[in-house]
């Protein structure tokens, strides 16, 4: 048991080193997020009322689009260099690999957005009360998106020709996340009900992700 | 002990390999030989339980391998045709990651000695993407020492290596067998050991 826990911690150390060496990718994602916000501001105009009306939806849409940029690296590098197989042969089941990769994607890709959101909110004239709700919904929503990203990226390993397909799958399945996340912020009186729905969606994707992604990883390694 | 009995693999009714039999016990080297596309890699993948055989059985310690797969994996180091070192990290960083992931107890002194034997000691702080294919392959083979397992399964371990390094690796194979280790590998090269078995596919 002690060795197993040690292996889990060491897995995150490995992910930390890989993500640190590819820090420019994270910076690219955040730059894309901010540049897109500026494009929205320039295209909508500087009126505070219009901005505050659309701002939460804009932030959520851009988080989703930025996420799709990072999906390609989710499993692809470890698959190409044979590390997925080596991890599996060293006692990491495919399902466990999927859970750990999803958590590490949340920590190393999504958490930097958590820091960016307050800055983006100031640019979009979002009130401080709403920033709090935005951050809470982001915590749930980004975990859901990481799980969806894991499923679509593992499916992409089986379909090396069309990377956009994975992004499209994430976008379609993230529609409920965006609906409820935006609703949480715009209907503060229903906060607890809507956040429970988000939690429910999170539990569903968290239950499906390891089995669906694990099966895709296994098939991809068989076909490789 | 690993026992392979009447193993066959067909894909879309095309024969990949047929009726393969061997046993891999202590202090034994088995070399898989065959032309390109003769099914060497597929046979290794089947033994690793990544591919389902069309017929035949694989036993690990007298049990069907499916029932004892993680015990088999615990005793096994596999080196495939891909280099698992992470390209954007240095040799030292990769070794640290491997030691952590494999919970290796091999000391730094031993690793440094092997690095100097393989003439990689001057490149310890170089990133993998600046190394030659031969140097990357040497580093990959270092994983055999770091993982420190009894059974080694290797797919074309001598690719991209010079003759001097091939001799060093072949000697380390002999030493591993003296310590009751077992090796199964595929190769095109004409490598000879004191005691070995050859399977032609």
Instruction: Closest CB to B51: pick one of A22, A90, A222.
Output: A222
Is B103 in Cβ contact with A7 (below 8 Å)? yes
Residue-level pLDDT at A113: 85
pLDDT tens for each residue of B44-89: 999 998 888 999 999 998 889 888 888 999 999 999 888 999 999 9
Q: What is the share, in percent, of chain B residues with pLDDT greater than 70?
A: 99
Give residue for tokens 């032609």: B200
| Same-domain status, B90 and B183 | no
pLDDT tens per residue, range A130-155: 888 888 888 999 999 999 999 999 99
| Same-domain status, B63 and B99 | no
State the helix-helix crossing angle for A111-123 and A23-44, rounded to 10 degrees: 20
Average pLDDT, chain A: 88
A6 touches chain B (CB under 8 A): yes
CB contact under 8 A, A81 and B51: no
Q: In chain A, what percentage of residues exceed pLDDT 90?
A: 35
Are B69 and B111 within one domain? no
> How many residues are recorded in chain A?
224
**Interface of chain B toward chain A, CB-CB under 8 angstroms:** 45, 48, 50-51, 70, 73-74, 76, 78, 80-89, 93, 97, 100-103, 147
When pLDDT is averaged across residues A75-81 and rounded to a whole number, the result is: 91
Domain CATH number, residue B13: 3.40.50.300
List the single residue in B70, B84, B88 with the smallest CB-CB distance to A86: B84
* Residue A98: φ, ψ to 5°: -65, -45
Mean pLDDT of the B143-155 span: 92
Contact list in B for residue A18 (CB cut-off 8 A) is: 86, 88-89
Name the residue facing A81 among B73, B83, B93 (closest C-beta). B83
Instruction: Assess whether pLDDT exceeds 90 at residue B192.
Output: no
The per-residue DSSP string of B182-199 comes to EEEEE-SS----SS-EEE
pLDDT score for B67 = 86
**Residues B92 and B70 both lie in one domain:** no
Please write the tens of the pLDDT for every residue from B129-148. Answer: 999 999 999 999 999 999 99
The answer, yes or no, to whether residue A91 has pLDDT greater than 80, is yes
Q: If we measure between CA atoms, which residue out of B34, B37, B48 comes closest to residue B14? A: B37
The ipTM value here is 0.89
Q: Write out chain B residues lying below 8 Å of A215, CB-based.
A: none
Do B95 and B128 share a domain, yes or no?
yes
**Residue pLDDT, tens place only, A18-76:** 988 888 888 888 899 899 988 988 888 878 788 878 888 888 888 888 888 888 788 99
State which H helix or E strand residue A149 sits in: helix A128-158
Domain identity same for B140 and B179: no
Angle at the Cα of A116 (from A20 to A42), degrees rounded to 5? 125
With contacts defined as CB-CB under 8 Å, which chain B residues touch A221?
A: 50
Task: Locate the chain A residue with the closest alpha carbon to B51.
Answer: A222
Q: Which domain holds residue B167?
A: 1-75+150-201
Is A90 part of the contact surface with chain B (CB cutoff 8 Å)? yes
Residue A115 contacts B, CB cutoff 8 Å? no
Burial class (CB in 10 A: 0-12, 13-18, 19+), B114: buried
The last residue of a domain, from among B133, B149, B165: B149
**Among the partner residues A17, A82, A218, nearest to B89 by beta-carbon distance:** A17
Indicate the residue of B48, B85, B88 with minimum beta-carbon distance to A21: B88
CB-based contact (8 Å) between A221 and chain B? yes
What whole-number distance in Å separates Cα of residue A149 and Cα of residue A67? 8
In chain A, where the domains are located: 2-223
Search chain B and give the residue with CA nearest A218. Answer: B50
A23 touches chain B (CB under 8 A): no
pLDDT of residue B58: 92
B154 shares its domain with B71: yes
pLDDT at residue B183 tops 80: yes
Q: What is the predicted pLDDT for the residue at A203?
A: 95
Residue B1 and residue B69 share a domain: yes
Task: Give B-chain residues touching A14 at CB under 8 angstroms.
Answer: 97, 100-101
Q: What is the per-residue pLDDT across A174-192, written as a single tens digit (0 to 9) for each?
A: 888 888 888 887 777 788 8
**CA of B146 vs chain A CAs: smallest distance (Å):** 13
Measured between CA atoms, how close is A191 to chain B, in angstroms? 42
**How many domains in chain B?**
2
Q: Which residues contact B67 (CB under 8 A, 6 or more apart)?
A: none
Question: Sorting pLDDT into bands at 50, 70 and 90, what band is A14?
Answer: very high
**Which pLDDT score is estimated for A170?**
81
pLDDT value at residue A60: 86
**Under an 8 A CB cutoff, do A87 and B83 touch?**
no
- Quick one: B184 and B198 in the same domain? yes
């Amino acid at each position: 048991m002690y060795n197993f826990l040690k292996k889990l911690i060491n897995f995150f150390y490995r992910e930390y080193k890989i993500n640190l060496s590819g820090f420019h990718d994270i910076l690219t994602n955040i730059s894309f997020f901010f540049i897109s916000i500026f494009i929205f501001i320039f295209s909508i105009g500087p009126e505070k009322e219009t901005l505050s009306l659309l701002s939460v939806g804009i932030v959520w849409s851009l988080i989703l689009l930025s996420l799709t940029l990072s999906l390609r690296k989710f499993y692809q590098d470890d698959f190409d260099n044979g590390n997925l197989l080596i991890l599996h042969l060293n006692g990491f089941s495919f399902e466990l690999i999927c859970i750990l990769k999803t958590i590490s994607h949340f920590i190393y890709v999504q958490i930097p957005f958590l820091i960016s959101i307050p800055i983006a909110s100031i640019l979009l004239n979002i009130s401080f009360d709403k920033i709090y709700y935005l951050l809470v919904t982001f915590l749930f929503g980004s975990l859901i998106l990481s799980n969806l990203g894991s499923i679509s990226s593992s499916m992409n390993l089986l379909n090396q020709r069309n990377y956009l397909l994975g992004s499209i799958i994430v976008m379609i399945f993230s529609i409920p996340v965006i609906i409820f996340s935006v609703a949480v912020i715009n209907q503060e009186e229903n906060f607890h009900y809507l956040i429970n729905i988000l939690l429910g969606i999170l539990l569903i994707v968290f239950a499906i992700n390891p089995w669906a992604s694990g099966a895709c990883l296994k098939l991809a390694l068989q076909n490789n | 002990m690993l026992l392979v009995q009447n193993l066959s693999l067909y894909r879309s009714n095309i024969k990949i390999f047929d009726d393969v039999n061997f046993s891999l016990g202590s202090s034994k080297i088995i070399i898989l030989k065959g032309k390109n596309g003769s099914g060497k890699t597929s046979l290794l993948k089947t033994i690793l339980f990544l591919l389902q055989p069309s017929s035949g059985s694989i036993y690990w310690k007298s049990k069907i391998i499916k029932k004892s797969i993680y015990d088999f994996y615990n005793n096994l180091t596999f080196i495939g045709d891909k280099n698992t070192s992470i390209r954007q990290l240095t040799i030292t960083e990769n070794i640290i990651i491997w030691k952590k992931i494999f919970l290796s107890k091999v000391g730094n002194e031993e690793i440094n000695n092997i690095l100097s034997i393989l003439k990689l000691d001057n490149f310890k702080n170089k990133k993998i993407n600046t190394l030659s294919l031969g140097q990357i392959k040497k580093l990959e083979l270092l994983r055999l020492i770091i993982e420190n397992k009894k059974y080694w399964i290797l797919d074309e371990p001598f690719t991209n290596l010079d003759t001097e390094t091939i001799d060093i690796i072949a000697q380390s194979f002999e030493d591993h067998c003296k310590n009751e280790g077992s090796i199964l590998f595929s190769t095109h090269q004409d490598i000879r050991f004191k005691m070995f078995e050859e399977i032609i596919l």
